[in-house]
């Protein structure tokens, strides 16, 4: 099977453009990565963390899954064996010793839509259904608290609640909790509006997602 034309075209563009500019950086990080930040994001094609944060290779340790969820800390014995997100989290915190973890949800998230559809007993997929069930508790609580809420508002509310739920789950991992208590690790919640290209950051004291102001361009922005 040959490389699809669209991917080949993109790769050619990368090799002739960004790679030429960043070849030295690629060579340097080949010896080992030391990212300071882990981002847990949705698999959605429109919310690429490296694009949103204009990150260079080696700067962000990213794990993406459906709806950017962090599952609770479960041992293999208690529930299944394949914990991809938890494994990435363990590596980021215990080996890379990242200093920031950002859970980044987004608008119009299909995973969150599926969670809301499941509440109406609509089929959502053999694997997506059980994966999204981990927020069933907070979803049901939201639905109960907001009877008659417009679906788009409820969707947006659940997108944000899911981020806060994931932050709580992050703290259930002993190695995360330990680093947070030692002041070596900070946990953040963020939500990205696709239609506006706008990032909102969770104020964990108020529970409000505040729009992130955009600063002046850096001098080296042309390189990114």
The residue behind tokens 């659940």 is 158
Nearer to Zn ion, 43 or 212 (CB): 43
The sheet that has 100-106: what strands, in order across it?
60-65, 37-42, 100-106, 186-193, 198-203, 208-211
Q: How far is the CB of 47 from Zn ion (least distance, A)?
A: 7
User: What is the phi/psi pair of residue 34, to 5°?
Assistant: -145, 55
**If you search the block for the tokens 């981990």, which residue do you land on?**
134
User: 224, 54 in Cβ contact below 8 A?
Assistant: yes
Q: Write out the two tokens for 191.
A: 């939500």
Reading the block at residue 23, the tokens are 């070849």
Name which of 42 and 98 has its Cβ closer to Zn ion: 42
187 binds Zn ion (CB under 5 A): no
Q: Is 42 in the site for Zn ion (CB under 5 A)?
A: yes
Least Å distance, CB 109 to Zn ion, is 3
Give the C-alpha separation, 181 to 213, whole Å. 29
Does residue 173 contact residue 179 with C-beta atoms inside 8 Å?
Answer: no
- Classify 127 as helix, strand or coil: coil
**Does 109 help bind Zn ion (rule: CB under 5 A)?**
yes
Pattern 146-175, binding to Zn ion, x per CB under 5 A? ------------------------------
Which of the ranges 89-97, 109-117, 129-137, 165-173 carries the binding residues for Zn ion, by CB under 5 A?
109-117
CB of 42 vs Zn ion, minimal distance in Å:
3
Task: Please choose, out of 37-45, 120-128, 162-170, 182-190, the segment that lies near Zn ion by the rule CB under 5 A.
Answer: 37-45
Distance of closest approach, residue 108 Cβ to Zn ion, in angstroms: 8
Shortest Cβ distance from residue 67 to Zn ion (Å)?
Answer: 5
Q: Contact residues for Zn ion (CB under 5 A)? A: 42, 44, 109, 111
């Amino acid at each position: 099977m040959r490389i699809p034309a669209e991917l080949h075209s993109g790769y050619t563009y990368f090799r002739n453009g960004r790679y030429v500019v960043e070849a030295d950086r690629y060579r340097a990080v080949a010896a080992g990565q030391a990212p300071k930040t882990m981002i847990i994001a949705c698999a959605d094609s429109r919310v690429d963390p490296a694009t949103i944060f204009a990150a260079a290779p080696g700067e962000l340790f990213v794990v993406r899954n459906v709806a950017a969820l962090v599952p609770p800390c479960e041992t293999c014995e208690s529930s299944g064996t394949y914990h991809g997100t938890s494994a990435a989290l363990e590596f980021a915190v215990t080996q890379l010793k990242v200093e920031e973890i950002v859970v980044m949800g987004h608008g119009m998230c299909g995973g969150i839509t599926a969670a809301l559809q499941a509440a109406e007993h609509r089929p959502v997929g053999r694997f997506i259904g059980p994966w999204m069930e981990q927020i069933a508790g907070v979803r049901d609580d939201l639905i109960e608290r907001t009877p008659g809420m417009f679906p788009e508002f409820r969707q947006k509310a659940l997108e944000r609640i899911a981020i806060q739920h994931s932050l709580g789950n992050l703290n259930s991992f002993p190695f995360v909790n330990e680093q947070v208590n030692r002041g070596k690790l900070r946990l953040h919640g963020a939500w990205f509006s696709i239609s506006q290209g706008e990032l909102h950051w969770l104020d964990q004291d108020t529970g409000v997602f505040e729009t992130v102001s955009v600063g002046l361009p850096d001098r080296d922005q042309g390189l990114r």
